Amino acid sequence: MSGPALAVLAGALALVVLYGWGLRRLRARARARGVPVPVAAPRHPPQPPGTFREAELARYSRHMILREIGGPGQRALRRARVLVVGAGGLGAPALLYLAAAGVGRIGVLDDDVVEESNLQRQVIHAAASVGTKKTASAAAALRALNPHVDIIEHDTRLDAGNAAQLLQEYDLVLDGTDSFATRQIVNAAAVARGIPVVGGMLSQWEGQLSVWDPAGGAPCLACLFPEAPAPGLAPSCAEAGVLGPLPGVIGTMMAAEAVKIVTGAGTPLRGRLLIWDALEAQARVIRIWRSPDCPVCSKG
């Protein structure tokens, strides 16, 4: 570098130093006189909408390189609002994978507490959580797994009186309950709101899964099961028992269906019922149709 260029550079640096010194002097005099001094803008500005932090890019990179998801799909997941009804056997794996996938807002709805008998299959809860609320236990695990998602705890029992209000803040529901009466309430509220429900059911060695979505042309739960099964025909897990890994299989499939619905990838199980027989390691998919006489979703 030539002599004149060095002189120019030195002069510029001197001006920068002198400007900084003068600015600090002015700020000090203003504070001494009690004059409010504007706070400088933060060094790291807030995250612009639709962009990802470096840590998020690394976290979701395996999604983003999938042609069917990519960046647009991952942004859709960030915008998604998903309610999971039940933080038990089905809800546990579904919640974990939804949080890991980067779903922006996840609601956890349950009014139960963690019991020793839950730990055989409800993998979101730890032994130290026994006696605590399932919503609190699940939320703590999800926040530890992914601090970039918003977890909303609904420590309440869903019923016909509060279902509409609870569902109005969400775009998709995962039904992981073991009560047919609660499933009926979830189904009716979702049909009224026009949002899909990813529904899973368990019985001993068998799991079932479908997407109830009349707004998308698929049947709702009541199209297939217009009435509750007779007593004894659909015993609960506490009555009939259940294979520990089975809820993990079906619950993980529920999360996969949710990701597909949110991102528009693949073909969700609308109008199809998947049945997984864990004892024989066999899967079947049955075509199901909307009922014109459905008491819930029929326009008639």
Q: Using the predicted structure, report yes or no on whether residue 59 has a pLDDT greater than 50.
A: yes
Q: Using the predicted structure, report yes or no on whether residue 120 has a pLDDT greater than 80.
A: yes
CATH 3.40.50.720 matches 54-287: yes
- Are 278 and 204 contacting, i.e. CB atoms less than 8 angstroms apart? no
Position 39 scores a pLDDT of 42
Domain locations in the chain as residue ranges: 54-287
- Render pLDDT for 162-198 as a digit per residue (tens, 0 to 9): 999 999 999 999 999 989 999 999 999 999 999 999 9
Percent of the chain with pLDDT over 70: 82
Percent of the chain with pLDDT over 90: 75
Cα 175 to Cα 194: distance, rounded to the nearest angstrom:
15
What's the whole-model pTM score?
Answer: 0.82
